[in-house]
Amino acid sequence: MRKLLSFLYKNRALLLFFLLEIICLGLIVNSHSYQGAQYFNTSNQTAATVLGFSQNTRNYFFLRQANSDLAQENAELKAKLMALSAQLSISADSGIARPFEFITGKVVNNSTAQFRNFITIDKGSRDGVASGMAVTGQAGIVGKIKAVSENYSVVISLLNVDENISAKVARTGTFGTIKWDGGNPRFARLLYLPRHVSIWKGDTIRTSGFNAIFPEGLPIGIVHEAVLTENAIFYDIVVELAQDFSRLQYVHVIKSKPKREIDSVQQLIRTR
């Protein structure tokens, strides 16, 4: 305390000068409208800049949580949409109100440069994930669950030369098979589309619903090129995939209730 009083006493002239300067500035601002307006504009701009920087910093640190919340919200909305579609297309006494449920997972490992690509996500058996479940991304289908541990799962990617997915042309309802040829990860092939079928560039390709893994109507991609040679039985069709696998961060695992029932029935037939 004694040192503080000594400091104030030694610098009393300088401190008095600053005090008088502040009083003068206050009198000028209060008595002159132009100077007052300039002062408040400058102070507001400075305060807004500081507050904006502070808010941007907070937003950056909370960005991961925001992405996770958005992914979870998307999963819930997709589940509600699928439930509504089921209610509209299935009779009220069928007992199937919500045939599909969604589990949101974060991608922890992803390959796109191999012939057989796989994706690892941070959801496992503890979260209800099981082998054979379908997986979608924000834009389109991704693949299906191959192996599961307690906390993690491995997805066999659509970008895998061993993977086939039943598909259809949305405009005509014609069925085919989507298969990646091991080349460009943004494109796949639509196989077995007969030559008598009308196919146009830009046609939307969706899941057919022929298996119980993928719900019907999920986006796969659009027709990028369709070639029909003179003696060919089927078109040579290149599909631009809806999902960009190089930007995949979150996925939705689909729990299919119809699949469990179908598997049970098929198992019953095999045992007879």
Diameter of the chain measured on Cα atoms = 105
Structure tokens of 79?
Answer: 């589940």
DSSP assignment, residue 234? B
Distance CA 153, CA 155 (A): 6
Burial class of residue 91 (count of CB atoms within 10 Å of its CB; 0-12, 13-18, 19+): exposed
| Residue 173, pLDDT score | 93
Task: Centre a 10 Å sphere on the Cβ of residue 76 and count the other Cβ atoms it contains.
Answer: 12
Q: Give residues with Cβ within 8 angstroms of 74, minimum separation 6.
A: 104, 138, 250, 252
DSSP assignment, residue 132? T
How far apart are the two ends of the chain, measured CA to CA in Å? 96
Burial class of residue 93 (count of CB atoms within 10 Å of its CB; 0-12, 13-18, 19+): exposed
Fold of 64-271: Thrombin, subunit H (2.40.10)
- pLDDT tens track for 50-73: 555 665 665 565 666 667 667 666
Only one residue has tokens 């796109």, namely 112
| Residue 141, pLDDT score | 94
| Residue 15, pLDDT score | 74
- The region that residue 177 occupies, defined by phi over 0 for left and psi between -120 and 50 for alpha, beta otherwise, is beta
Distance CA 8, CA 19 (A): 13
243 contacts 137 by C-beta, under 8 angstroms: yes
Distance CA 21, CA 24 (A): 5
Q: Write down the domain spans for the chain.
A: 2-61, 64-271
Per-10-residue mean pLDDT of the chain, 272 residues long, equals 73 76 69 54 56 60 66 64 51 50 90 94 93 91 94 96 95 95 96 94 93 85 94 95 92 75 51 58
Q: What are phi and psi of 95, to 5 degrees?
A: 80, 5
